[in-house]
Structures are given as structure tokens and as C-alpha cells.
A = this chain, B = another copy of it.
Amino acid sequence: MVTSRRIADVASEAGVSPTTVSHALSGRRPVAPATRARIMDAVERLDYRPDRLATSLRTQRTQTLALIVPDIANPYYPASARALLDGVNEAGFMTLIANTDGDPEGEREALQEMVARRVDGIVMHSLATSTADLRRIVGPDLPVVVVGGVSGLIATDLVVTADSVGIGEAVKYLHDKGVRDLGFVDGTEGNGMHRLAAFLGAAHALGMNVQEDWIGHTPFTREGGFAAAMSLLHGDRRPAAIMCANDLIAIGVMDAARALSISIPQDLAVIGFDDIETAALVTPQLTTITNPASLTGATCAEMLLERIALGADAPYMTRVLPTSLVLRESA
């Protein structure tokens, strides 16, 4: 292949017009078998492959999706991304990926850029923008699946995990073990707050004690968890258990406990969220709440394809995925 071929090259090679080549390839109009054969032969010989840019410009469909995540290096997302990619790949879609670092500004830029590239749909994790703003940016008709909670009116399809179920389970488990003093390390404010809310609701319902200074906010990283726990465990009265908005934070909390010679789970129970692969590998093994990453990705793929097939007029859908407590050693 010296240079890339155009449809006109194929046409002249086969002795027909570009129109006929297009029809032969797309099948949108009948083409005589003999002609079609000549065309296919020419395609083969020239190794012709249509320019997707031109096709997309004309058809207004790009066969491309956008995946927007806070941080692909955060181990929860790759699993989800993988399932998403697999799901849409079969349908002939490729995926553009962008990181936002949880920053609303970054989110906005990513969205705008994706829209300018005319993606056919967007999967958006952890929306920090309101769906009203979202719709202002992407327009009313572009399929968007948001994973996780949203604030404000819902104007997108939604994949949510039933976080409160797993969290309730975990709180009840601690309660049954006799724990009364509870702390929670949440992610950055404005994001994932619903996990904190679910936690507070469950703790309150069981009459447990949650001091204000036992609640921390921090980035969703191991370092963040470490820092938050260090300050949280500093006071003269400590909680007997700490739950965390994700596993990385929980691992950071365990780092802190180790640094402070607090033994887990005897002196401090720790419960994470997500059940990333590493959770089963740390010492002590992390008790956590499953967040079915790969199921989430697959569900996003499914919903997005469905939405694309349905069109924008069909009512918004919400799908709820299960979570549950996984008992290991840390609690």
C-alpha cells in the first residue's frame, strides 16, 4: 500500500462510478452481481478502506463513544472500562477516553471536546456537573449514560449501584459486633457524597455514634486515605471502626493505623468500597463492599447502544446494580 485509496480509485479500477461502489459496499441499493464482484475484487486489490472521517461527516454518525472518568489509573475504572470496550466493540464502536481528576472544569472541557468530535454517545463517571449544565453542553439529543449519583434533575440515562444497600449491610454488621463509634472517610466533597449520606442514614437508624470530627474528606487515593486517617485518629477519642468511600482510601487508612500501631481489626475495624482486586491481597485482607465494576461497564455499553437505537425521545432509563458486603479480615 503506497498511499491510501479513495473510493474514486476503486471506481475507476472496476470501471464504474463512485456511486455504484458505495451502493455495492453499503447494500443500500441493488447492484448487479457481476458488477459487485468486479468492485469487490478492486477493493481487495487496492486494499481500499473507506475514510471514516468522510463517512462520518456525511452520515453524521462516528461510530465512536466517549468514556470520561476521574482517573483511569484508579484501579476501579480499568475493569469497568474493559467491559465497556468489549461491549461496544462488537457493535463496531471505538472509544475515546478522557480523565477529569474529578474537576468540574476538566469535566466540562472533556465533554465539549467530545461533542466537537461528534461522538455518538458518552459514558460519564462521577458527574460533578448538574445534568442541566450537562445538557447545555452536549445538547438535548446526544446519548449520555451517567454512572453513579447525580445532583439535580435527571436528564440522562443512569447506571447506579445500590451503594446504600451494601453500606447498610456493613453498618449493621459492625453494629452486631458491638461497635458503636463509627467514622467515615469520604472522597472529595461534591462527589460520592451519597455514600456518606447512606452511611449517616444507616448509622443513625441503628443509633450509632458518629462524631463530626470522625468524618473526613480526601481524594480517592491511598495517600488521601492515609492523611485523612492520621488526622482522624489523632483525637483523644477514636472511633472503633472506619468506613471508606473506596478501597484505596481504606488501604491508606490501614497504612495510617499501622503507622500509629493500631491493630486491625482488634482496635480498629476498616471497611472499604469497590472490592478492587488488590483488596483481597493486602494484609490484613480488606473487608469491603463489592462494586461490580465490570458489570457496570457492561451495563453502560448495553444502555448506550440501546439508547442510540431508541433515539432521544424514549424516556430516560435507570438501572440499579447490586452491592454487598464481602467479609475478610479487616473488620
Asked if A3 lies at the interface with its beta carbon under 8 angstroms from chain B, I say yes
Look across to chain B and name the residue whose beta carbon is closest to the beta carbon of A92.
B113
The segment from A81-89, A238-246, A307-315 found at the interface with B is: A81-89
When chains A and B are docked, how far (Å) is the Cα of A4 from the Cα of B49?
29
Specify which of B2, B74, B117 is in contact with A53 (CB 8 Å cutoff). B117
A296 interface contact, C-beta 8 A: no
- Interchain CA distance A79-B74 in the complex, whole Å: 8
Chain B residue, CB-CB nearest to A112: B49
Q: How many Å from the CB of A291 to the closest CB on chain B?
A: 15
Q: Which chain B residue lies CB-closest to A279?
A: B281
What is the interface residue range for chain A against chain B? 35 or more
Q: Nearest Cβ in chain B — how far from A66, in angstroms?
A: 9
> Are A73 and B64 closer than 8 Å at their CB atoms?
no
Q: Chain A 274-314 against B: per-residue CB contact (8 Å), 1 yes, 0 no?
A: 00011001110000000000000000000000000000000
Alpha-carbon distance A111/B74, docked complex (angstroms): 27
CB of B53 within 8 A of CB of A57, answer: yes
A72 contacts which chain B residues (CB < 8 A)?
72, 78, 81-82, 85
The listed residue with most B CB atoms (<10 A of its CB), out of A3, A116, A282, is A116
Across-interface contacts of A52 in B (CB, < 8 A): 116-118
A49–B114 alpha-carbon span in the complex (Å): 11
Bound-complex Cα distance A136 to B3 (A): 10
Give Cα A53–Cα B71 distance, bound, in whole angstroms.
27
User: Does A159 touch B at the CB level, under 8 Å?
Assistant: no
Say yes or no for A97: interface residue by CB 8 A criterion.
yes
**Is A129 at the interface (CB under 8 A from chain B)?**
no
Contact B62–A73 (Cβ < 8 Å): no
Whole-angstrom distance between the alpha carbons of A81 and B98 in the complex? 10
A116 touches B277 (CB 8 A): no
| CB < 8 Å neighbour of A139 from B4, B54, B77 | B4
Say yes or no: A98-B118 contact (C-beta < 8 A), given A54-B57, A73-B79, A281-B278: no
In the complex, the 10 A-B pairs of residues with the closest C-beta atoms, listed nearest first: A73-B82, A283-B283, A281-B282, A278-B278, A53-B57, A78-B78, A52-B117, A73-B78, A52-B116, A49-B116
Beyond the given pairs A86-B99, A94-B96, 6 more chain A to chain B contacts, judged by CB atoms under 8 angstroms and listed by A's residue number, are A1-B139, A53-B62, A57-B57, A72-B78, A73-B81, A281-B283
Please list 23 pairs of residues, one from A and one from B, whose beta carbons are closer than 8 Å in the complex, sorted by A's number. A1-B139, A49-B112, A49-B116, A51-B116, A51-B118, A52-B118, A53-B62, A53-B117, A57-B57, A64-B96, A72-B85, A73-B78, A73-B82, A74-B78, A75-B277, A81-B97, A85-B98, A95-B96, A96-B96, A96-B97, A222-B277, A281-B283, A282-B282
- Residues of A participating in the B interface, judged by any CB pair closer than 8 Å: 1-4, 49-54, 56-57, 62, 64, 71-75, 77-79, 81-82, 85-86, 89, 94-99, 112-118, 136, 139-140, 222, 251, 277-278, 281-283
